Amino acid sequence: MTDITHRQLDANGISVHIAEVGTGPLVLFCHGFPESWYSWRHQLSAVAEAGFHAVAMDMRGYGGTTQPPDIGAYTVSHLIADVVDVVRALGESTAVVVGHDWGAPIAWWSALMRPDMFRAVAGMSVPYLAPLDALPDGITMNAVMEMMAAGREYYRLYFQEPGTADSELDADVRHSLLGFLYTISGDVLADGVRSEPFDGHFPKGERFVDQFDMPAQLPAWLTEADVQHYVDDLSRTGFFGGVSWYRNINLVPTILSPFRGAVLRQPSFYIGGDTDMIAGNTPDAIEAMRAALPDLRHCELLPGAGHWIQQERPAEVTAALLQFLRSLD
């Protein structure tokens, strides 16, 4: 990764750290929780070598990007506006947007809202979800998740109380980071640590951090240097910014409401792991996505892979993404 350079951009009223390499049409990468630009370390140079300007953001609240202290500064509107303004700050008018985990819905909805700017979109580990019909009066997204949890705790709900999840995660950053990476990877099943994937639910009264499985040794896709990179970033910033994305989930239906019935017609791409149950990567969601996207050019679940798809299976993900990018010409 010696050819990757770093700089700060002024975008949407904050300072955004980017990692970039190459020249050509812009491909903008958006990471998820609790990561950074570094989650795209295997893809950036390969995409650049294929003739593109590959740029990975530290998203709002992460790494070298501004971490606003107000929970209300982490809505989907803010996050999409960051992505749009990074394209502008780079002097471009169009881009392909790529997202993983939380970055995937930001990528999907950026393309839905700004088809003039985002000529294609690739999502990983979180399928496309079209804007939902209006919820009945008094019913929130949190209430819907509570009903679906059926008496269990659910990590997205657990994250809602300010200071609870973030302080627990901050208490031992290495344990939190490594536990989260391992627990929802494909390795936890291959190693026989779990018999079925963790789907984010756990018994009421227990702590989220106590659900983590810790590896006896690092998975083959994760080095000590990789872990340390994430730990260094999160030790500096804390988990507040990333967790605050979840604390604005109730606003998502309202923010997306002007786009109900709109169709995302740009070329699209999806890849995930078939053991990943953490973020809606279900057969029903995959089928709904197929029905909703008229130009879905690639849709694949990699056998045995978990949630961290571009890190667990870098060669396969990169090859598929490059094929998609070449198809745009």
Residue-level pLDDT at 280: 80
Residue 72 in this model has a pLDDT that exceeds 80:
yes
Q: What is the value of pTM for the model shown?
A: 0.97
Cα R_g (the chain), whole angstroms:
18
247-300 per-position pLDDT tens digit: 999 999 999 999 999 999 999 999 999 999 987 888 899 999 999 999 999 999
- SS3 at position 269: strand
| Whole-number Å distance between alpha carbons of 220 and 103 | 24
Residue-level pLDDT at 218: 97
2 confidence band (pLDDT: 50, 70, 90): low
Average pLDDT value for the chain: 96
Q: What residue ranges define each of the domains in the chain, with the CATH number in brackets?
A: 5-327 (3.40.50.1820)
Residue-level pLDDT at 89: 98
Residue-level pLDDT at 326: 97
| Whole-number Å distance between alpha carbons of 117 and 54 | 16
Residue 2, token pair as written in the block = 């010696």
CB neighbourhood size of 4 (10 A) = 18
Range 79-84 average pLDDT: 98
> Cα 113 vs. chain centroid, distance in angstroms?
18
| Whole-number Å distance between alpha carbons of 329 and 327 | 5
100-142 per-position pLDDT tens digit: 999 999 999 999 999 999 999 999 999 999 998 878 887 899 9
| Whole-number Å distance between alpha carbons of 141 and 252 | 8
In eight-state DSSP terms, residue 76 is: H
Residue-level pLDDT at 193: 97
CB neighbourhood size of 136 (10 A) = 7
| % of the chain exceeding 70 in pLDDT | 99
Q: Which residues are CB-contacts of 137 (< 8 A; sequence separation ≥ 6)?
A: none
1 confidence band (pLDDT: 50, 70, 90): low
| Whole-number Å distance between alpha carbons of 162 and 237 | 16
In eight-state DSSP terms, residue 249 is: G
Residue-level pLDDT at 282: 87
The residues that bridge with 271 in the sheet, in sequence order, are 124, 300
Poorest-pLDDT segment among 56-65, 128-137, 195-204, 318-327: 128-137
| % of the chain exceeding 90 in pLDDT | 95
Q: What are the residue numbers of the active site?
A: 101, 307
184-237 per-position pLDDT tens digit: 999 999 999 999 999 999 999 999 999 999 999 999 999 999 999 999 999 999
